[in-house]
A and B are shown apart, each in its own frame.
Chain A
Amino acid sequence: MINFEPTEGDRKILDQVRTEALICRKYARYYDENEHEFPPDELEEAKGKPNVYAMFAGRGESDSGLGVMSMLISAGQTWGDYSVRMHRGAGGLGNAALRAAGTPEQNQKWGDVTLAMAITEPGCGSDPSQVQTTAVLDGDEWVINGEKIFVTTGCRCDGVVVWATVDKSAGRAGIKSFLIEKGTPGFVVAQKEKKLGIRADDTAAFVFTDCRIPRDNLLGGNEEVQQKGSGGFKGVMKTFNMTRPGVAAIGIGMAEAALDFTRDCLTEAGFEIAYGGGLHTAPAVVDKFQRLEAKYEAAMLTILRAAWLSDEGEPNNTEASVCKAKTGTAVREITQGCIEILGPMGISREHLLEKWFRDVRITDIYEGTGEIQRMIIARALCGYTRKELN
């Protein structure tokens, strides 16, 4: 049955997330201003307390699905702060790739370590077919050469899934994923990136120089280069079907924080925020605020839709792009609009609003820009291939 109310069991978890988020928020400004310090793996306040995901044990069939709940938890956590967590979660984007494409042996060997995902290069972002990093088979080893940037959890991961081409002439079909352990000779973490927002976040640049790894470290184990346009690349892209809703959820949590802060300020200033009234009954600021709230609601529902489809085992490729595109736009408009509503107060670093404005900006860029998402959606609508619409 169509229903948008969390169950009592869901609420218990989400309330805990909120409690933790309020604690994390206290550290938000510090780690934003001191971007070269990492937030601790475990906060003082977290000592001896279980991770929120431990609460998933014993949930009933009538409770919301894991995908849906993951979205709400992510949003609930970033409502506190993008980077600071009670307990730093194990796993990175590379772990999602491992689960999606790894062999059982690889999952067993690498499943418990934190894996980053390195795709972007100085000269290639949204078009991964332009990957310049190479992997050459030399005996029983792959030799990796190239540079990667914007690697999330790059400094603190134990290993990384790297996209490299085994055959440049094959285009996208030549791209394979490789598991590379930290400490492998020839693998250097060049620097932590300096950014507009999410400054506390661990984002690194990697350099690989004749970095040799075992032949078995090819993710999924398939060395064969398929013919151009045979669809082999699609498997690689499947990783994004939950990561796109995931980063959308991360963005929407911060947008919600901005709305909550703005609502409190407006209410304190004596503005009544009532619903159901007409155009001439509300002041312009309230009207503007409610428009932003509606954008939040709309974006959140597209995220839940994509996650719910995944929980149901249904394809959600287009929906993942819909929620990513929708949220990428919404969070920018929301945080920019909240600052506009609050005026000079909105830009003061005494409050977190200016930080949320900076932090959400990445939402429409990483995991595929808004433009890429629209391309994917339009292709699906028109039944076009990548070649027909690019």
Chain B
Amino acid sequence: MISFKLEEEQEIARDALREFATEVMRPIARECDEAEKISEEFLAQSWELGLVSTQLPEAYGGGGEARSPITNAIILEELAWGDVALAIAALTPATFANAIVDHGSDEQKQAYLPLFCGEAYHAAAIAVNEPTVAFDPSIPRTVAEPKGDGFVISGVKSFVPMGDRASHFLVVARNNGGLDAFIVPRDATGLSVSKNEQNLGLRALPTSTLELERVELPASARLGGAAGCDVRRLLDNSRTALAAAMVGLSRAVLEYAVPYAKEREAFDQAIAQKQGIAFKLADMHIETESTRWLVWKAAAQLEQGIDATRAAHFARSYAAEQSMWIADQGVQVLGGHGFIREHLIELWFRSARTISVLEGTLGI
């Protein structure tokens, strides 16, 4: 049945996180970006919300709620509205944990899920990106070769979130012509983690480059065990999540631009009363809405266990294009004020360009 109806719990989660984003995230977004430092207090506060553990199985100490890509999309939109860098920092552990839930063997669930059910923020991250031209996550350069019962992995991964402290990395690599993901502990021999990268946007998010030089892993490090896993599905999930964050970012820009345009006067009239600006605002709204429904469609397909690659492709690529466009228009509506760091628009403009190339510039 075609329906846009949120479950009651989803509405509650949305409202609670909207408040959290307004009261906790927005006030520190600028400060964290300028300092290029994540707020430890924020990580602790976000952890207390149970964003990561709620959907993990009870057997491993989690909240036992059904894993829901739709709920996650709703959550991410709200958090990213607060700040994209902080949102990704808060949810990076979930990307790792959810991959284990979706694709992991029983042993892997047993070994890793309890890490995320404790009292304190625990980081582990997916390592997808690579520092190559026009990177395509479906054909990584990082390669796994069989050795004995296990594997040897070599390659370079970049923009790995929370790389400064992650205990484990889920490294996507080519394996025998296909794709696999491997759980690499931080202390693995041959793995070196760079100091924090310096990027255009999302400066508050610590990201690292991983160099894997013939890292030897046991057979049990392969996500899904002997059967491996559907990495495409893993990517569909993370693309949809990234797109959801872009919706939040777009909404943030729009909701900032509207009151500004109503306040700012030129030629004896608020600029919002001029069609040139009013139509821009209308289009920003149209595209924010359009993108959200594309995200929900992909998330719903993921939730229902049906093939979501096409929908996730559309969600992610459309979101990338539109969030960048919306952030760009936001700067334009604010004019000179969009260019100075007093307003968050310039931060969002950088965030938009940064988040929209993560995990590869998709076809569109």
Inter-subunit contact A302/B289 (CB<8 Å): yes
Q: Mark B19-59, 1 if CB is under 8 A from A, else 0.
A: 00000000000000000000000000000000000000000
Q: Is B285 an interface residue (CB 8 A)?
A: yes
The bracket for how many chain B residues form the interface is 35 or more
Inter-subunit contact B286/A287 (CB<8 Å): no
Q: Which chain A residues lie closer than 8 Å to B273 at the CB level?
A: 384, 388-389
How far is it, in angstroms, between the C-alpha of A297 and the C-alpha of B293 when the chains are bound?
9
Q: Is A298 an interface residue (CB 8 A)?
A: yes
Q: Is A116 an interface residue (CB 8 A)?
A: no
Q: Which chain A residues lie closer than 8 Å to B3 at the CB level?
A: 1-3, 64, 308
Question: A46-54, A230-238, A276-284, A359-367: which one contacts chain B?
Answer: A276-284
Q: Is B90 an interface residue (CB 8 A)?
A: no
Inter-subunit contact A305/B293 (CB<8 Å): yes
Inter-subunit contact B135/A382 (CB<8 Å): no
Main secondary structure of the interface of B (DSSP, over half): helix
Query: Known contacts A276-B232, A298-B293, A374-B282: does B2 contact A5 (CB below 8 Å)?
Result: yes
Inter-subunit contact B2/A4 (CB<8 Å): yes
Q: Which chain A residues lie closer than 8 Å to B4 at the CB level?
A: 2, 304-305, 308-309
Q: Is B300 an interface residue (CB 8 A)?
A: yes
Determine the residue in chain A with the shortest Cβ distance to B293: A301
Inter-subunit contact A278/B314 (CB<8 Å): no
Query: Known contacts A63-B1, A378-B281, A389-B273: does B135 contact A276 (CB below 8 Å)?
Result: no
**A298 partner, pick from B139, B275, B291, B309, beta carbons under 8 A:** B291
Inter-subunit contact B363/A322 (CB<8 Å): no
Q: Is B6 an interface residue (CB 8 A)?
A: yes
Q: Which chain B residues lie closer than 8 Å to A65 at the CB level?
A: 2
Q: Mark B278-289, 1 if CB is under 8 A from A, else 0.
A: 110111011001
Q: Is A169 an interface residue (CB 8 A)?
A: no
Most chain-A Cβ atoms within 10 A of its Cβ — which of B285, B296, B304? B285
Query: Known contacts A5-B304, A276-B235, A389-B272: does B278 contact A382 (CB below 8 Å)?
Result: yes
Query: Known contacts A276-B138, A280-B136, A294-B364: does B290 contact A302 (CB below 8 Å)?
Result: yes
Q: Is B88 an interface residue (CB 8 A)?
A: no
Q: Is B317 an interface residue (CB 8 A)?
A: yes
Q: Which chain B residues lie closer than 8 Å to A290 at the CB level?
A: 313, 317, 363-364
Inter-subunit contact B297/A68 (CB<8 Å): no
Q: Is B219 an interface residue (CB 8 A)?
A: no
**B258 partner, pick from A281, A304, A322, A381, beta carbons under 8 A:** A381
Q: Which chain B residues lie closer than 8 Å to A382 at the CB level?
A: 258, 261-262, 272, 278, 281
Inter-subunit contact A4/B281 (CB<8 Å): no
Query: In chain A, residues 291-342, which have Cβ atoms closer than 8 Å to a Cβ of chain B?
Result: 291, 293-294, 297-299, 301-302, 304-305, 308-309, 312, 319, 322, 325-326
Q: Which chain B residues lie closer than 8 Å to A280 at the CB level?
A: 134, 136
Inter-subunit contact B318/A3 (CB<8 Å): no
**B290 partner, pick from A298, A309, A377, beta carbons under 8 A:** A298
Q: Which chain B residues lie closer than 8 Å to A4 at the CB level?
A: 2, 296-297, 300-301
Q: Mark B57-94, 1 if CB is under 8 A from A, else 0.
A: 00000000000001000000000000000000000000
Most chain-B Cβ atoms within 10 A of its Cβ — which of A63, A279, A375? A279
Inter-subunit contact A377/B272 (CB<8 Å): no
Q: Which chain A residues lie closer than 8 Å to B291 at the CB level?
A: 298
Most chain-A Cβ atoms within 10 A of its Cβ — which of B7, B278, B311, B318? B278
Q: Which chain A residues lie closer than 8 Å to B286 at the CB level?
A: 302, 322, 325-326, 377
Q: Which chain A residues lie closer than 8 Å to B294 at the CB level?
A: 294, 297-298, 301
Most chain-A Cβ atoms within 10 A of its Cβ — which of B278, B282, B309? B282
How far is it, in angstroms, between the C-alpha of A322 and the C-alpha of B290 when the chains are bound?
9
Inter-subunit contact A278/B139 (CB<8 Å): yes
Q: Which chain A residues lie closer than 8 Å to B283 at the CB level?
A: 374
Known: A10-B1, A281-B363. 5 other contacts (CB 8 A): A2-B3, A276-B362, A279-B136, A305-B4, A373-B282
Closest 9 CB pairs of A and B: A278-B136, A301-B293, A378-B278, A374-B282, A298-B290, A377-B282, A275-B313, A64-B2, A378-B282
Which residues from chain B sit less than 8 Å from chain A, CB to CB? 1-7, 70, 134-139, 232, 235-236, 239, 254, 258, 261-262, 272-273, 275, 278-279, 281-283, 285-286, 289-291, 293-294, 296-297, 299-301, 304, 306, 309-314, 317-318, 360-364
A–B complex contacts, Cβ < 8 Å, 7 sampled? A5-B1, A276-B362, A281-B139, A294-B317, A304-B293, A326-B286, A326-B290
